Chain A
Amino acid sequence: MALPIPAEVEAVFREFRTCEFSTLAADGTPITWPMLPFYRASTGQFMTTTSIGLPDKAFNIRRNRRVSLLFSDATGSGLFDAPAVLVQGDAVAPDEVKTSIGGFENEIALVYRRQPAGARYTRNAAMRWFSDWYFMRLEITVTPRRILWWEHGDLSSAPTVVEAIHVG
């Protein structure tokens, strides 16, 4: 069930171009890289993917499902004075290499709308040879456990927090 969040936080999930996605390496070091997340309002989950050329995120998740997503860079989003949002949650990353875009046409079209220069990777045979690994993807699904946000993106103040209630 989706955690209750205000419209301005959902707008951040919908419009921010990237988030800072953290997984935990084998030695416990949190490893953070920018990612393109997709928010599923109906379930409250996030879907993202990583290439098998960059599989460490998936390996980390299979070892330790704890992850976080920080939405703190509004560049290109069109949002003004947006809150900063941190999502902590549990992720799964099945070992299934996906090369078909079936079922994800809308998300991929959205990426090309937001990042038109990304089409360069498929422009000619040489570029396609060079970058085919990028299109071999592992799906990652994140179920939020806790969502924290800061009005006006001011991280020096205490955040507003909503948490999932765990029974049993």
Chain B
Amino acid sequence: MWAEIRRHLRGFSSPVLTGVDGDGYPISIRCALELDETEQALRVSLPGWTGIRPGPASLLCHGHNDLLWDLHSFLARGTLEPIGGETWVFRPSRLVPGMGIGGLAGMARFALAKRRAARRYLQRRGLARPKIDWAQLKTVQAKARQ
């Protein structure tokens, strides 16, 4: 997993680190990371104002172009702990691929997995798979092009 995270990180300059603050709310910050190969962890400097508490955290890397396309993202789940001053260490424990990771095959796997997840969501509620009004969507797309 560490090798995968390290490889995916190369394409991103400022990941989003999210922890939990003293009120129990998520708090996110863009940050620069320093890889600690020995610990297989990521060091980060967190300003004191964040109020982030040690504990569960995640790291999101994502991007898109000016036309909101070429989407790519992945998430690493893990823990965050202070190691002195404003320096903290994020220890990843799980990689969650998002959009655009793994090429075309990855996208197909992603779409099919989400299709199955949608089926489960409906089945657990005893709902039939709803029909999408594609014509209505086409009308909105035409309006958007005007």
Contacts and interface: CB of A to CB of B under 8 A. Distances in A.
Interface stretch (A6-14, A41-49, A106-114): A106-114
A81 interface: no
B75 A31 contact: yes
B26 A115 contact: no
Contact of A133 (B47, B71, B114): B114
A84 B63 CA distance: 16
Contact of A68 (B27, B114, B115): B27
Categorize the interface residue count of chain A: 35 or more
Given A68-B27, A75-B66, A101 B114 contact: no
Interface residues of B, number: 59
Contacts of B21: 88
B20 A28 contact: yes
A155 B136 contact: no
Contacts of B68: 17-18, 76, 114-115, 117-118
| B28, B67, B121, B137: residue with the most chain A Cβ atoms closer than 10 Å | B28
B133 A99 contact: yes
Contact of A136 (B29, B130, B134, B140): B130
Given A133-B115, A136-B130, A29 B60 contact: no
Contact of A100 (B73, B117, B122, B136): B136
Contacts of A115: 67-69
Interface in B12-48: 16, 18-21, 23-31, 47
Given A34-B73, A66-B26, A101 B136 contact: yes
Interface string B131-146: 1111011101101110
A18 B20 CA distance: 21
A18 B64 contact: yes
B16 A76 contact: no
Chain B interface SS verdict (over half) = mixed
A85 to B, nearest CB: 11
Given A27-B56, A66-B26, A72-B16, A130 B111 contact: yes
Contacts of B69: 115, 117-118
Interface in A114-147: 114-119, 122, 128, 130-136, 145-146
A132 B71 CA distance: 19
13 contacts: A17-B64, A17-B68, A22-B28, A32-B18, A33-B75, A33-B98, A53-B118, A68-B25, A108-B137, A117-B69, A119-B141, A136-B118, A155-B30
Interface of A: 17-18, 20, 22-25, 27-34, 51-55, 66-68, 70, 72-73, 75-76, 84, 86, 88, 95, 97, 99-101, 105, 108-119, 122, 128, 130-136, 145-146, 155-159
Given A20-B16, A75-B65, A122-B141, 5 more contacts: A22-B28, A54-B114, A66-B24, A76-B66, A117-B67
